[in-house]
Chains A and B, each alone.
Chain A
Amino acid sequence: MSGNGLHVGTGGYANERPPSSTGSAEMDPATDPASSGFFSNDYKRHDDLKSMLDSNKDTSKLEAMKRIIGMVAKGKDASDLFPAVVKNVVSKNLEVKKLVYVYLTRYAEEQQDLALLSISTFQRALKDPNQLIRASALRVLSSIRVQMIAPIMMLAIKESVMDMSPFVRKTAAHAIPKMYSLDPEQKEQLIEVIEKLLADKTTLVAGSAIQAFEEVCPERIDLIHKNYRKLCNLLVDVEEWGQVVIINMLTRYARTQFTNPNKDEMQDEADRPFYDTDKEEEEEGAAEEKPQPKTYIMDPDHRLLLRQTKPLLNSRNAAVVMAVAQLYHHCAPKSEVGIVSRSLIRLLRSHKEVQYVVLCNIATMSIKRKGMFEPYLKSFYVRMNDPAPIKLLKLEILTNLATETNISTILRELQTYVTSSDKEFAAATIQAIGRCASSIAEITDTCLNGLVRLMSNRDESVVAESVVVIKKLLQTQSSGHKDIIIHMARMVDTITVPMARASILWLIGEYSDRVPKIAPDVLRKMAKGFISEEDIVKLQILNLAAKLFITNSKQTKLLVQYVFNLAKYDQNYDIRDRARFLRQVVMPGENSRGLFTKHAKKIFLATKPAPVLESKFKDRDQFQLGTLSHVINKRSTGYQELPDWPEVEPDPSVRNVEVVMPWTEKTTTKERKDKKPKKEAFYSDEESSSADEDSEEESSDDESEEDSSEEESNQEESDDESGSDGDEKSEKSEESKEDSEDESEEENSDEESEEGSEESDSASEEEVKPKARVTNKTDKKTPGAPAQSTGPASRDFLLDLDDFAPASSASSNTTGTPGDFLTPVMASSMSAMSISDKSPSSRSSTMISPLEVPLKMYELLNKMQGKGLTVSYKFTRTISVFSPKMVSIEMIFTNLSDKPINSIKIGDKKFQKGMEMQDFPEITILDVKATTSVLMAINFNDTTQPATFDICAQDHKFQVSITAPVGELCQPYTMNEKEFITQQGKLSGMNENTGSVEIHSDKPDPKTVVTTVYKVVNTLEVTSSEENVFRFAAKTVSAGTLVLISIKWKDTKATIIVNCEQMVIGTMLLKDLKTAFGMFS
């Protein structure tokens, strides 16, 4: 007990002068005064700690915890204290609690059972009103890595994601990857959580949410679409670490969603650098307007990304700057990449570790983009006290940047490096000179001369390196340089470095034909001193001898024999072996047939491949810049390949944020238009608007109309968007006001408005862009037009307009029915509008709009029955202009009789209860062989009961009936996958109809599947994250009941599930679908 008291005493001391003397210094057994008997002592001490932890005094608890943390920090085992520590998790003292948390995260994994004791405390803390406590409870709970609590963790994460405090949400985002590494099975659920977090609008959460996304499901790029613009706009305000992660992710995103901005410029790379400087000056706004090659116009979203990241080049955080630089390198048009170079150069002034990484990246960039760094050439000059790795990197970059114009400066600089006392560096410099010489033909001779001079250097490595480099250079040169070889031959007398002597001998042997007189003389000299040479030189002497014997046997025969004889008795067996072998090949004895001798020349004097002198960074561009893999030039774990640009741009509309209900939206606008009293007014309106918006229209009527409608819808969207942006802003400003009450509000509002105006600027910019792109696309896509032309027949109809218009206008004038302005003009323009309208709303991966499916024609009246009049109809699948509850039907009348038919109209109707019908306007006259179509609508009241009515033509009456297939009683409904699944869950049991079809192709072509469904049902695909699962959502026209269709494909079997509250519709739809798929197989 006395020991115990003593320790409490020391504890008090430590508290006075915080942890100083009792700190980790004492933890160290080496410095522990009592370390002599430290086994028993150690045990005792732990015992003592335990009793301190058990005491009810906070001071002693704290002291004990501090000492335990000291052990943890030192890396010593403190796990046996676990039971004593874990009890204190409930401590009221914050610091004790905090330290217990630290301890728990360290050891919980090893003591899983005991760790469970603490769980309930955390669960309670998760409900604490204090956000810091909630957050830290979640942090610890998710950090203790005990498999058993995974479900609790999941629950906690799910709750925390919804927390009021963004800080807790951020912590939740961090917990997701922890959860994922603990239990990868939960991926699906975690993705759902991530999706929620991605939608979060606070800057605090954004970075961590993306980090979670990157660690759990980087392949689910589709989750980003909706958040893309938000992320870009928030980026500047996100904390620096989050910025790095977001930019890296967006780089990958850009590479999958946009097209290559440099595609068209591949050829004229040569004159790029010159342009660069010009373009750099201009602000990006100007660059945007620059007449890009016609075929490429940058997606506004792509532009947005580049614009939003640019200010981050001024970040104080090197990682952020690097991230932006790599984004520009990988995703920006060539002309704009230049702006990053200056910021990268600035980073070179930073810590040496930062320098190292940045230089690595510049080295790779400089291979492809010389012009970018050429102005900063001098920044890469080496200082003698730079760390060795940095020296080498700078040298590498200098070599990469060498061009004909700057080579003289570079060479002068390199010369000073050669004399450096750091010999390794000097040798690297010589190699660099060699590379410059081989890449720039003009200076090869100068370099060679310089290198020759270096051969008289006193330093072995310098000489050896220069001889080796000269050797390589001479090999790459096809001819000449006799004088250099002669010079080198002379140097044999003075050079002592064996490696260099050997290289010279090799050279003379190889090019003996260029110096026929000198070569034998050199051999003579070498033969004289053969015995005293180094082994490596001896080998080369033999080599030289053999080669000379082949080319010039007359003069050298005796010499060669002499050398071989000397070598025969050499001490080194390698040399003896070599001599024996060479002798056999070049001067075989009488008894051997000398097969080799004939080919000796080919064997020894074959042209050797010239070594290629190129950058060590050549192959590094396979890795994304700024990554770990790039720096170590090896694929690291978890590295994600940077995808190649897609050939065709994926649907850009997926990023449109507002989930507008196209249908309700549309009807309101239509109603508005419907109310326009006069037809003329309507006409002129449309004309003027199209004239305004499409001033440069040159295309045919229908196209312009489509354009304008597209335009309109776009405008609507951007309106919505800017609205939401505004909301965001105001939210933010509110927040900031709360936090900084004292902050001058004027200032604030000032800034806000500034930002706001910029926002609107960009919005207007965006507005202009899409139009251009759309026209462009249609231009490009003309071969692919069938998709559109086969689509709604109503479009064809437009062409007939002119013929028909007078008639209809006449009718409207005369009859004046309520539907008078519902002429085909209107109808068709409406349908055209809704087509273009729908394309952004269809977020299907397969990109098929439901309206692109050919519509089925039904016959109502044939020639025989109708006495020459034939009537057919089809379901247009557009929202009826009469009432959203009606199914829109287009009737086509053809007069096949021999005289015109007058006044075609609807007569008596026999309807079921609840059904109603909107008549088509009377057709006053239908000429012989003429065809006309009218629009009518029937409210089937969601039943498949026939609508029976009479068609009156002149004096005849034909009773006909129209039955709508169930599929036509539906209207597409947009929803996302999650919503779909939840809704589906609600419609189980009785409301679910399941069936399966055997299909003989096991790999479903998504397009066919979707088209098949579209043929049967008027619906819309819901983007599915799973392969081979297709989901469609619709609502019934009249009652608005949800209809959900999902098709799961497995091997040769397709399971169709239809969920609908109205059982009749469900069953019938299933039947129809089964039939359709049955045919499809």
Chain B
Amino acid sequence: MIHSFFIINNTGDVFMEKHWKSVINKSICDYFFEEQSKCASVDDVPPIIVTPHHYLINIYKNQLYFVAVVTTEVPPLFVTEFLHRAVEIFTDYFQECTETSLKDNYVIVYELLDEMLDNGFPLAMEANILKELIKPPNFLRTITDTVTGKSTGVSGTLPTGQLSNVPWRRTGVKYTNNEAYFDVIEEIDAIIDKSGSTVIAEITGYVDCLVKLSGMPDLTLSFINPRLLDDVSFHPCIRFKRWESERVLSFVPPDGNFRLISYHIASNNTVAIPIQLRHNILYREGSAGKFDVQISPKQTMGKTVENVVLECTFPKSVLNVTLTPTQGKYSFDPVGKVMTWDVGRIEPSKYPGIKGNISLQTGAPIPEANPPLTLHFSISQLALSGLKVNRLDMYGEKYKPFKGVKYLTKAGKFQVRT
């Protein structure tokens, strides 16, 4: 299936390679660079590149390209999914998946890659299993290793999870403080048209967990309004039958961080948009263009909107903008022509605004359409869809865990057409 794997950084340096079958020279990446050079933006690189004898399937994450080489027919999503999963695992191990962290831990990365695939086919992809096989870097352990002269980085026995029905959980977990945190995070994706009406708005939600519970706990999470969840994808630990029949999430959780479910609430259900924009953008010859935007909250259920950031990508013909915000700071990137206004939180008393002039390149034609505005914001203690956790029960263990639920609403791809 997956033949080889390369990691390429932004400057085009292939700094890591791994082969699961015979060796493919890294010059194969030249095809990738060729394709990359054709693209205007890093995002535009096609995920699948065809070369005479190989197919390069790549993902772009954290300014790194992860390129898998395949030689025969394979479901492309299989490879894409693997690459993303690998990145997730690296992030889990090193807290971040960047060029430096990968280079610093190259031995572990290499061992992980070796363990993940066998003959190009996934062998162990569960973080919990891998962590038992190969210990994540840990400062304390490295010191003891150096002192005692032993290495404990690699385990000599097969993680029991690999053979069990719960491959995602390792055995013998022990914590002094048993705790389980659930974050219900909802992202709102919307397109708002010129007049302020909603073209499309949908919610994508996640329940991300941090579970630190000893032994083999069996958890049951129920919602007050599970009917909202009609389009869900589950972590394999969830018992699908219980969900089908009772609409509760019953599972033996993995240890540590994981995403329990993700759900999608489609556009058919009306979604309350928590924020409103008033905008007036005008291009005129010279520096007479006008830019005037005001942000005001709308349907926030009494919560404050925080971390508001407004982005505007101007066309190439815009030279500069001179603006005065009533709140926060703004910056303009003259190369990418991106104006970023960091608004901060919206106080209920006054609504932030930004006003000023746009100067166009002399001689260039006046742009026809106004630039779309992208908004970022977050509202804590609110799940926009109204989803609420009812209760969490634990079976199978005797101790009383500490439980916590947090709600957060964020802007996903929130775009306002002007």
Contacts and interface: CB of A to CB of B under 8 A. Distances in A.
Interface stretch (A377-385, A575-583, A770-778, A960-968): A377-385
B162 interface: yes
B231 A342 contact: yes
Interface stretch (B261-269, B321-329, B380-388): B261-269
Given A19-B104, A74-B15, A458-B368, A130 B417 contact: no
A322 B78 CA distance: 9
Contacts, number: 312
Interface in A1-30: 12, 15-20, 23-25
Contacts of B259: 316
B104 A740 contact: no
B121 A421 contact: no
Nearest to B166: A740
A62 B15 contact: no
Give the one of B22, B266, B367, B413 with max A CB within 10 A. Answer: B266
A contact face: mostly helix, strand, loop, or mixed: helix
A629 B46 CA distance: 15
Interface string B201-226: 01010000000000110100000000
Contact of A18 (B84, B104, B165, B244): B104
A573 interface: no
B72 A132 contact: no
A460 B218 CA distance: 64
Interface stretch (B145-153, B176-184, B295-303, B403-411): B145-153
Contacts of A457: 368
Given A95-B154, A356-B46, A638-B72, A70 B146 contact: no
A387 B104 CA distance: 32
Interface in B137-192: 137, 142-143, 145-146, 149-151, 153-158, 160, 162-167, 171, 189, 191
A322 B46 contact: no
Contacts of A638: 71-73
A174 B123 contact: yes
Interface string A349-361: 1011110111000
A151 to B, nearest CB: 20
B158 A73 contact: no
Contacts of A16: 142-143, 146
B142 A314 contact: no
A130 B40 CA distance: 54
Interface stretch (B235-243, B273-281, B284-292, B346-354): B235-243
B146 A384 contact: no
Nearest to A66: B107
B206 to A, nearest CB: 10
A58 B166 CA distance: 36
Interface residues of B, number: 122
A290 to B, nearest CB: 21
Contacts of B19: 106
Give the one of B70, B104, B235 with max A CB within 10 A. Answer: B104
A629 B41 CA distance: 26
A131 B158 contact: yes
A740 B81 contact: no
A89 to B, nearest CB: 15
Contacts of B262: 316
A457 B39 CA distance: 26
A208 interface: yes
Contact of B202 (A177, A379, A421, A627): A379
B4 to A, nearest CB: 10
B363 interface: no
A143 B119 contact: yes
A969 interface: no
A421 B371 contact: yes
B125 A421 contact: no
Contacts of A74: 15-17
Nearest to B187: A349
Give the one of A72, A143, A732, A739 with max B CB within 10 A. Answer: A739
A23 B40 contact: no
A639 B374 CA distance: 42
Interface stretch (A162-170, A989-997, A1026-1034, A1054-1062): A162-170
A275 B105 CA distance: 57
A357 B46 CA distance: 10
B199 A378 contact: yes
A755 B202 CA distance: 36
A416 B107 contact: no
Nearest to A356: B47
Given A19-B104, A742-B215, A69 B73 contact: no
Contacts of B244: 311
Interface of B: 1, 14-23, 26, 39-41, 43-44, 46-48, 50, 53, 55, 57-60, 70-78, 80-84, 103-111, 114, 118-119, 121-123, 125, 137, 142-143, 145-146, 149-151, 153-158, 160, 162-167, 171, 189, 191, 193, 199-200, 202, 204, 215-216, 218, 231-236, 239-241, 244, 252, 259, 262, 264, 266-268, 313, 315-316, 365, 367-369, 371-372, 374, 395-397, 413, 415, 417
9 contacts: A58-B150, A74-B17, A357-B77, A383-B415, A384-B313, A385-B413, A388-B40, A640-B73, A739-B164
Interface of A: 12, 15-20, 23-25, 58-59, 62, 66, 69-70, 72-75, 93-96, 98-99, 101-102, 106, 109, 130-133, 135, 139, 142-143, 145, 165-167, 170-171, 174-175, 177-178, 181, 204, 208, 211, 236-237, 239-241, 244, 248, 311, 314-319, 321-323, 342-343, 345-346, 349, 351-354, 356-358, 375-376, 378-379, 381, 383-385, 387-389, 413, 416, 419-421, 457-459, 626-629, 631-632, 634, 636-640, 732, 735-736, 739-744, 747, 751, 754-755
A-B complex: 4 closest residue pairs judged by Cβ atoms: A638-B72, A419-B369, A739-B164, A132-B158
